[in-house]
Chain A
């Protein structure tokens, strides 16, 4: 009997966390996507590229400068659970795809915003690099944190 109650409590905790992930996770994701869309629309005139030699960059005043932006986005309980389930059968992990893209877009946007604040209006040679801050590669603990950290670096031009 006691074991049964214990099992129910455990199931309740997991169920509660799934629900929390479902509600709060969806909410944070939607809010983040909305903010990304809005800020991207604000900076619509800015050209973002990964060209090494930006055409017309020589005329840039001020002199082209390095701009760096970072973002680290955490997964929610539901996404992590969905990925674990997907791991059983294999295939595309949609929930993490959106997570990765959100982190990249956020880092890129931060570069764009900084460049805009410094009076630049074009971005060349954008590079995106991921970091493992949560230490998932080196730790062998059971509960791994799912965090996507991205560093974006670019050269900004004023054309």
Chain B
């Protein structure tokens, strides 16, 4: 499965548009992480726990999106976008969406011999 966030895949032609596919996940951070984050807020620096949370959520959302694309029989997803929203205190949503398509690799243009 080819996944890109551009509208087209260079070197490939879109033969059929299967439709929009999406995946979301709402995750809550646990209280322990909150306490650690509270301390980190005094001294500054990266919140590894939060970064991890984002990475996990993004993976999950992408996987759900890809599962949908597979179900549609697509072999690529183009124009993938991510969006986040705050649902309630301590929980956030990560949403991934894109367009599932079928693609065909372009035949390489014949090389012009240089004299």
Binding site for B on A (CB under 8 A): 17, 20-21, 24-25, 28-29, 32, 52-54, 57-60, 63-66, 68, 70-77, 79-80, 106, 124-125, 127, 129-135, 137-139, 141, 145-147, 149, 151, 153-155, 157
Q: Contact at B83–A129, with CB atoms within 8 Å?
A: yes
A-B contact count (CB 8 A): 152
Q: For B106, what are the chain A residues with a Cβ–Cβ distance below 8 Å?
A: 58
- Size bracket, chain B contacts: 35 or more
User: Considering the chains assembled together, what is the distance between the CA atoms of A76 and B2 in angstroms?
Assistant: 41
Residues 38-49 of chain B: 1 if any A CB is under 8 Å from the residue's CB, otherwise 0?
101111111100
By beta carbon, the residue of chain A nearest B44 is: A76
Tell me the smallest distance from the CB of A68 to a CB of chain B, in Å: 6
**Given known A-B contacts A25-B43, A149-B50, A68 and B82 have beta carbons under 8 A apart:** yes
Assess the A25–B50 pair: CB atoms within 8 A: no
Are B5 and A133 interface neighbours, CB within 8 A? no
The answer to whether B8 and A53 have CB atoms under 8 Å apart is yes
Whether B41 lies near A64 (C-beta < 8 A) is no
Residues of A with C-beta under 8 A to B53:
133
CA distance A153 to B81 in the complex (A): 8
- How distant is the Cα of A57 from the Cα of B12 in the complex, in angstroms? 10
Contacts of A125 in B (CB 8 A): 4-6
B96 CB → nearest A CB, Å: 9
Q: Which residues of B contact A80 (CB under 8 A)?
A: 41
Kindly state the separation between the CA atoms of A157 and B12 in the bound complex, as whole angstroms. 14
Given A32-B45, A137-B86: A70 and B5 interface contact (C-beta under 8 Å): no
Q: CB distance A63 to B46 under 8 Å?
A: no
Q: Which of B6, B89, B92 contacts A155 (CB 8 A)?
A: B6
A153 touches B37 (CB 8 A): no
Query: In the assembly, what is the distance between CA of A93 and CA of B107, in Å?
Result: 54
Cα–Cα, bound, A52→B7 (Å): 7
Q: Does A75 lie within 8 Å of B44, measured CB to CB?
A: yes
